[in-house]
Amino acid sequence: MAYEIPSDLRAVPCILMRGGTSRGPFFLESDLPLEPAARDRLLLAALGSPDRRQIDGLGGAHPLTSKAGIVRRSTTPGVDLDFLFAQLQPERDTVDLTPNCGNMLAAVLPFALECGLLAAADGTTTARILTLNTNMQCDVTVLTPGARLQYTGDARIDGVPGTAAPITIEFLDTAGSVCPALLPSGRVRDEVRVGGAAPFTVQATLIDNGMPMVIVRAADFGLSGHESVDALNGNEHLRARLEALRLACGPLMGLGDVADKSYPKMCLVAAPADGGSVATRCFIPHVCHEAIGVLAAVTVATACVLDGSVTQGIARLPAGACKTVSVEHPSGEFSVELELDAHDAQKVVRAALLRTARPIMRGEVLIPQQ
Ligand code: NQM
């Protein structure tokens, strides 16, 4: 059945994609307004923000389902696709283009193949993608037997039911994505003083290997680090302390006032409970993630290999210059493959991981005329 909708709504082509443990509409850049303010108004209307329930749009009333992707063919030599990630929030009228999202990134190549931006090869198709938010490049590979996209398969990622075809992502240059450096304070561990009505001091590793993060030990907040997401989200005292700490860390990380920013993310770490390398509970930044973000996992895994970080004495790592770091999170684990410099075991030269993604629906999102 073909729909003909003569109405005063604007119809904008898009594909609603799941990328890893995130979801959102993907657009071709050429289908959106060129002017940034008009583009942002359109994205807010498409998702239904600001509104806690996002009842008038595609958003799923959670930061992980308040995302959008914008894709175009790249003009950068050696790069196939440009990807601009947009983080929206259910209750805010903001469109944040500064952070990365490794989950939505997993959906970029399938979307580009669906739209005919690139042609699929027989077997597998690899594309180099430039994330415009932070100028980060990565190589993404999808299965394309007979030059046809394969979405079904045996790969399982925790946080998503069932299995699907694997999508591999190999990051090329993630250090200091939004911050000025991997360790923006110049130290692997900081003693951060938090002022205000209930002052406290805590040791933290301030780090950005793709995602700006403040990593602290759960025990320093009187927690085991294995609490449920609901218990942590219901702990107002903890959330207030973490937000006070986040605001104190913003300037130390070269990020300035982060009150209205979706980063740095906050991460509580503890000894692994399930045979992994480290246990995590991440706040993104105000609610606890049901799993962990892709680049958040890469960043935590990187902290685990740095001598002197707050993970020391907690994380259990395999030996060798090429290691799989299993980052435990509330709904399972996330394996990150890290390759360390042969001459400097404190330097990560490659990070690779596995995701899945798929289109959920394709068509047009209908936007009230603005
Ligand atoms: O860290 C959540 C997610 C993310 C971002 C967040 C992400 C990443 O789970 O690369 O994927 O940290 O807000 O999608």
| pLDDT at residue 1 is higher than 70 | no
64 Cβ below 6 A of ligand 1: yes
DSSP SS3 for 206: strand
Alpha-carbon torsion (235, 196, 267, 269), positive or negative: negative
Domains 9-174+356-368 and 190-348 share a fold: yes
Q: What tens digit of pLDDT does each residue of 307-361 get?
A: 999 999 999 999 999 999 999 999 999 999 999 998 988 889 999 999 999 999 9
The alpha carbon of 99 and the centre of ligand 1 are apart by a number of angstroms equal to 9
265 lines ligand 1 (CB under 6 A): yes
pTM for the model: 0.91
Domain 190-348 homologous superfamily, CATH: Diaminopimelate Epimerase; Chain A, domain 1 (3.10.310.10)
Give the pairing type, strands 265-270 and 278-283: antiparallel
Ligand 1 centroid from CA 25, angstroms:
16
**CA distances from residue 229 to 50, 182, 217, 242 in whole angstroms, order as listed:** 24, 28, 17, 15
pLDDT one-digit tens code per residue, 262-288: 999 999 999 999 999 999 999 999 999
What CATH number does the domain located at 9-174+356-368 have?
Answer: 3.10.310.10
Sequence-separated (6 or more) residues with CB below 8 Å from residue 273: 226, 279, 328
Is any atom of ligand 1 closer than 6 Å to the C-beta of 329?
A: no
The CA-based angle 211-26-18, given to 5 degrees, is 70
What is the residue extent of each domain of the chain?
Answer: 9-174+356-368, 190-348
Whether 101 lines ligand 1, by a CB cut-off of 6 Å, is yes
Structure tokens that stand for 144 in this block: 């394309």
Which of 211, 265, 327 is the pocket-test mutation for ligand 1 (most atoms within 8 Å of CB)? 211
Largest Cα span, the chain:
65
33 and 46 in contact (C-beta within 8 Å)? Answer: no
**Which SS3 state, helix, strand or coil, does residue 332 take?**
strand
* Residues 150 and 144: beta-carbon distance below 8 Å: yes
8-56 pLDDT per residue, tens: 999 999 999 999 999 999 999 999 999 999 999 999 999 999 999 999 9
Q: pLDDT tens digits for 180-205? A: 999 999 999 999 999 988 899 999 99
Ligand 1: distance of its center to the CA of 248 in Å? Answer: 22
Res. 305: pLDDT tops 90: yes
**What is the rounded distance in angstroms from the CA atom of residue 1 to the CA atom of residue 4?**
10
